[in-house]
Chain A
Amino acid sequence: MIDYEKMLSKTVCDIKPSGIRRFFDMLSEMEDVISLTVGQPDFVTPWHIREAAIESLEKGKTYYTSNAGTGELREEIAKYLKRRFQLEYCPKDEVIVTVGGSEAIDVAMRAILEPGDEVIVPMPSFVCYGPIAQMLGAKVVNIDTKLENKFKLTPEELKNAITPKTKMLVLPFPNNPTGAILTKEELEEIAKVLEGTNIAVLSDEIYGELTYGKRHISIASIEGMRERTIIASGFSKAYAMTGWRLGYLCGPRELIKEMLKIHQYAIMCAPTASQFAAVEAMRNGDEDVEMMRNEYNRRRVFILEGLRKIGIECFEPEGAFYIYPNIAPFGLSSEEFAEKLLFEHKCAVVPGTAFGDCGEGFIRISYAYSVKHLSQALDKIKAFIESLKK
């Protein structure tokens, strides 16, 4: 008999399976559920972008590209970052095309973190940072952002979390799951704290195109920050291209040079057809992004007002496509709330605890759904809330 425990890496086995795996398993078994759990756009990739990939296949462009991605795409990414966020990156040696934003995060963390290093992660947030750090033997220092601070990272909280071992700060804004964003002034405050340190910033800007009312500001555009910032972003959310698995990594060439080694040996290069599609997206996709942003905004207002009307307290999200209502007043834990809503009213939301312990008392609702769908869900949530009051 093989002893698999001996065979497997202890580090990997020590990674806890996500606490809400059970919830998602239950959800997948049930039928006729109105779900608000999906974390990806409901739009199809715009046709002209799909067409560019099809054309590349028709022309037989089925080779590997260079490790960092096609020169054409890297140039478009550099132009795009300048056009949209006033960022300057050299396409030759400061941009790597990755397999989704996820790979960009993984590569950036692997290039910076060593066993014993500390990485600061504002919570609640996307689920990957902690486990990746753990695999590298680094210690995760969570900062629980607070509702009263609009789920923003404050300079005081950051200052208190920094130790001599701190190597990296993850900056996941616009934030999944809260929808919080950071303004220029707030980023400048954070920049002041980092001044004079050797701390790298991993800025996860995958939702950078999806802000409402205020434009997304990258911390790399704040004075003195570019030299320590690694931007991880991608095409999934902005262009509705989740299945294409395409993202990018930008930073100072001294960092990118080393990161390219990891990408080169682990991945070789991002999918070629996806890269052709991405060139088209960046050249001619601005209008599509705007159309989708307007539509998400409509739904954001709809769900926000709708939840408030039925008596659920809600922080107004300013980015991404999630809303993060406070359900603590109803006297149930996040998981109990989500499970009861699922079993009694066939409506699915994600318990806030999926995104960290500080998510207790909250649920995450995705509004990447049609208004009709959201409307049906609101009816179910309303019925549930009324049943709780009885």
Chain B
Amino acid sequence: MEKILQLLEEDATLTPEQIALMLSKEVGEIKDAISKYETDGVILGYKTLIDWDKTSREYVSAIIEVKVMPQRDKGFDHIAEKIYNYPEVKSLYLMSSGGFDLALIIEGKTMREVAYFVAQKLAPIDSVTATATHFVLRKYKDKGVIYGSCEVDERGNLII
């Protein structure tokens, strides 16, 4: 049933009925499998990709590299938890790079808001020893989707 996951990863709006048709299964089976994936925490959520540049919403995002001092017995997990609990932190990764340890993606309304987060919330955390903030100027592609484009079916309709 992992095919369900592949399908939903591509398009979360597929209905159980559509998935059932594609996989030649009963709708009930698909619904059960999806809810099991949800309760088991395999499927964690469904979101929408939005190109905010096409709206009037003010929006800025940044990638922040964070160097931290790991804590005895807790490694990086404790500090990671401290950071990811801030709602403005959209993604957080532990990296294998030598230069820094954590990479996070943050979103805010303005550059000032992001700067405020770094200065007032992130940097003061005890184990954080350094940060480097990289503002995103333009998002070209995210989650496999190209931004700024709009798919139009331009195929010639020949009698073929």
B119 interface residue (CB < 8 Å to A): no
B18 / chain A contacts, CB cutoff of 8 Å: 302, 371, 375
From B48-56, B90-98, B129-137, B152-160, the one touching the partner chain is: B152-160
Q: How large is the interface on B (under 10, 10 to 19, 20 to 34, 35 or more residues)?
A: 10 to 19
B155 / chain A contacts, CB cutoff of 8 Å: 38, 40, 42, 242
B160 and A371 contacting across the interface, CB-CB below 8 Å? no
B24 interface residue (CB < 8 Å to A): yes
A301 / chain B contacts, CB cutoff of 8 Å: 21-24
Chain B nearest CB, measured from A295 CB (Å): 10
Kindly state the separation between the CA atoms of A18 and B159 in the bound complex, as whole angstroms: 9
A39 interface residue (CB < 8 Å to B): yes
A176 interface residue (CB < 8 Å to B): yes
B159 and A24 contacting across the interface, CB-CB below 8 Å? yes
A35 / chain B contacts, CB cutoff of 8 Å: 153, 157
Kindly state the separation between the CA atoms of A244 and B91 in the bound complex, as whole angstroms: 42
B11 interface residue (CB < 8 Å to A): yes
B157 and A298 contacting across the interface, CB-CB below 8 Å? no
B14 interface residue (CB < 8 Å to A): yes
B160 and A126 contacting across the interface, CB-CB below 8 Å? yes
A371 and B159 contacting across the interface, CB-CB below 8 Å? no
Give A2-43 interface residues, CB cut-off 8 Å to B.
Answer: 18, 20-21, 24, 27-28, 35, 37-40, 42
A389 / chain B contacts, CB cutoff of 8 Å: none
A59 interface residue (CB < 8 Å to B): no
Chain A nearest CB, measured from B46 CB (Å): 16
Q: Which residue of B lies closest to A375 (CB)?
A: B18
| Number of cross-chain contacts by CB at 8 Å | 49
Q: Mark A353-390, 1 if CB is under 8 A from B, else 0.
A: 01000000000000000011001000000000000000
A147 interface residue (CB < 8 Å to B): no
A155 interface residue (CB < 8 Å to B): no
Kindly state the separation between the CA atoms of A371 and B158 in the bound complex, as whole angstroms: 22
Interface centre among A305, A309, A350 (most CB of B within 10 A): A305
Q: Which residue of A lies closest to B13 (CB)?
A: A372
Q: Which residue of A lies closest to B160 (CB)?
A: A39
Kindly state the separation between the CA atoms of A372 and B24 in the bound complex, as whole angstroms: 17
Give A87-123 interface residues, CB cut-off 8 Å to B.
Answer: none
A332 interface residue (CB < 8 Å to B): no
Kindly state the separation between the CA atoms of A305 and B156 in the bound complex, as whole angstroms: 28
A127 interface residue (CB < 8 Å to B): yes
Kindly state the separation between the CA atoms of A21 and B155 in the bound complex, as whole angstroms: 17
B14 / chain A contacts, CB cutoff of 8 Å: 371
Kindly state the separation between the CA atoms of A225 and B10 in the bound complex, as whole angstroms: 45
A302 and B22 contacting across the interface, CB-CB below 8 Å? yes
A372 and B160 contacting across the interface, CB-CB below 8 Å? no
Q: Mark B104-140, 1 if CB is under 8 A from A, else 0.
A: 0000000000000000000000000000000000000
Kindly state the separation between the CA atoms of A39 and B156 in the bound complex, as whole angstroms: 9
Q: Which residue of B lies closest to A18 (CB)?
A: B159
A39 / chain B contacts, CB cutoff of 8 Å: 158-160
Interface centre among B23, B24, B159 (most CB of A within 10 A): B159
Which residue of B11, B22, B24, B160 contacts A40 across the interface (Cβ within 8 Å)? B160
Interface centre among B21, B23, B155, B157 (most CB of A within 10 A): B21
Question: Known: A298-B22, A301-B21. Contact between A20 and B159, CB under 8 A?
Answer: yes
B160 / chain A contacts, CB cutoff of 8 Å: 39-40, 126-127, 176
Give B17-55 interface residues, CB cut-off 8 Å to A.
Answer: 18, 21-24
B156 / chain A contacts, CB cutoff of 8 Å: 40
A224 interface residue (CB < 8 Å to B): no
A42 and B153 contacting across the interface, CB-CB below 8 Å? yes
A306 interface residue (CB < 8 Å to B): yes
A37 / chain B contacts, CB cutoff of 8 Å: 157
Which residue of A24, A176, A299, A372 contacts B157 across the interface (Cβ within 8 Å)? A24
A371 and B157 contacting across the interface, CB-CB below 8 Å? no
A127 and B159 contacting across the interface, CB-CB below 8 Å? yes
B159 / chain A contacts, CB cutoff of 8 Å: 18, 20-21, 24, 39, 127, 350, 354
Kindly state the separation between the CA atoms of A267 and B13 in the bound complex, as whole angstroms: 48
Kindly state the separation between the CA atoms of A375 and B21 in the bound complex, as whole angstroms: 10
A42 / chain B contacts, CB cutoff of 8 Å: 153, 155
B157 and A28 contacting across the interface, CB-CB below 8 Å? yes
Kindly state the separation between the CA atoms of A371 and B22 in the bound complex, as whole angstroms: 9
Q: Mark A163-184, 1 if CB is under 8 A from B, else 0.
A: 0000000000000100000000
Chain B residues with CB under 8 Å of chain A are 11, 13-14, 18, 21-24, 153, 155-160
Q: Given contacts A27-B157, A309-B21, list 7 more A-B pairs with CB under 8 A.
A: A35-B153, A35-B157, A42-B153, A127-B160, A298-B22, A299-B22, A350-B159
12 contacts between A and B (CB under 8 A): A24-B157, A24-B159, A27-B157, A38-B157, A39-B158, A40-B158, A42-B155, A299-B22, A302-B22, A305-B24, A371-B18, A372-B11
